[in-house]
Amino acid sequence: MDQQESSEQPVPMGDALATTLVELAREENRLTADLLDLAKVRTENDREQTLLGRELNEMAERRTVAADLRTQLSEERTEHMREQIRLGRELNEMAERRTVAADRRTELSEERTRLANQQTGFSRKSTELSEQRTELATRRTGLAEERTGLAEKRTGLAEGRTELATRRTGLAEERTGLAEKRTTLAEGRTELATRRTELSEGRTSLAEKRTTLAEGRTELAQQRTTLSEHRTGLAEKRTTLAEGRTDLAGSRTLLSSYRSVLAKGRTELAFIRTGLAFVALGIALIRYFGLGPWTLLDGGLVVFGAVATVVGLRGFMVTRRLERKFTERLAPFLDMTADLEPSMES
């Protein structure tokens, strides 16, 4: 009776231990499933980041194309500015020619004024001569009154000639007034020509200033073109770095998948370890308690452990094949990382 009581007393302890091991295995399986879910979520995040990296690369390429177009526009604008500078120089040469022509016109106006003054002097002398002639005609008229009747006819003719001379004298005086007006107008025209010459010189100086400003604007356009080329180079570098980042994102996605495979392998190892634990536990219970009513339960533990071990081994072999594939795919990345480590240390 004492032996039976002693043999029946450890059975609840083994039962509790088996239950505890089963709960631990289930808890470990739940944790493994949670880790797999986390690995899947991270893989999805890595895929989204990869897509974002591709969109950023496309945006960088579009910006590079826009920078090239801006560079072409800057070059065309520089050529246009050079053409404007050449036109400005031609305008300056034309303005200088106009200034020389204006000076020539001024000299001609002064010569014409001098000739008009000479003509006015001649007109005055002609008037004086006309007055002298009138006096002579008057004297001749007095002498004609003393002559005979035949001389009266000549006197009448002389009076007509005198009237004509008087009219000629009036016309000469009017011509003298008109010559004076013409002289005044010529002087005003000379002043206007001088004023026009001054304005031409001012316009020439303004054209020179405009040419200087155009040259400065051309230099600024060249500097802007240089900055645009530098910005284009930086954009190309950024594009290259973005491509490298895309490659690194793909490697990170591959590493995440590799980590998922390793997590699955760890889960399979947990199955194998749990199965071996159940097998060892069942064999220990059979050897400790011998054959009895609980032998079926112990045998069930052994069978369950063997099945879990076999399932775990099959899954582990599949995981090992996947691990070899991922190792072959990650070999270039690992080589590149190994090459980068000495450069980063140096």
Predicted confidence (pLDDT) per residue in 186-235, tens digit: 899 998 989 899 998 989 989 999 999 999 999 999 999 999 999 999 99
Q: Which of 130-144, 154-168, 184-198, 300-314 has the lowest mean pLDDT?
A: 130-144
Place of tokens 């450069």: 343
Mean pLDDT of 82-107: 82
Instruction: Of 163, 167, 174, give the one whose Cα is nearest residue 137.
Output: 163
Q: Other C-beta atoms within 10 Å of 336: how many?
A: 13
**Where does residue 29 rank: exposed (0-12), middle (13-18), buried (19+ CB within 10 A)?**
middle
User: Does the pLDDT at position 8 exceed 60?
Assistant: no
Q: Specify the pLDDT at position 213.
A: 92
User: Does the pLDDT at position 1 exceed 70?
Assistant: no
Model confidence at 84, pLDDT cuts 50, 70, 90, reads confident
Angle at 46 between CA 267 and CA 339, to 5 degrees: 90
Q: Rounded to whole angstroms, how far apart are CA atoms 71 and 67?
A: 6
What Cα–Cα distance (Å) separates residue 191 from each residue in 107, 115, 180, 181, 198?
12, 17, 17, 15, 11
Spatial neighbors of 86 by CB under 8 A, at least 6 apart, are none
Angle at 258 between CA 252 and CA 262, to 5 degrees: 140
Q: Rounded to whole angstroms, how far apart are CA atoms 61 and 237?
A: 11
**What does the radius of gyration of the chain's CA atoms come to, in whole angstroms?**
61
Query: What is the residue extent of each domain of the chain?
Result: 11-336
Q: Rounded to whole angstroms, how far apart are CA atoms 175 and 167?
A: 12
Dihedral angle over CA of 278, 282, 285, 286, nearest 10: -170
| pTM above threshold 0.75 | no
User: Does the pLDDT at position 261 exceed 50?
Assistant: yes
State whether the Cα torsion 114-118-119-124 is positive or negative.
positive
DSSP class per residue in 191-222: HHHHHHHHHHHHHHHHHHHHHHHHHHHHHHHH
Does residue 1 sit in helix, strand or coil? coil
Fold of domain 11-336: Helix Hairpins (1.10.287)
**Span 278-287, pLDDT tens digits:** 888 888 888 7
User: Does the pLDDT at position 246 exceed 60?
Assistant: yes
Spatial neighbors of 13 by CB under 8 A, at least 6 apart, are none
Mean pLDDT of 41-51: 83
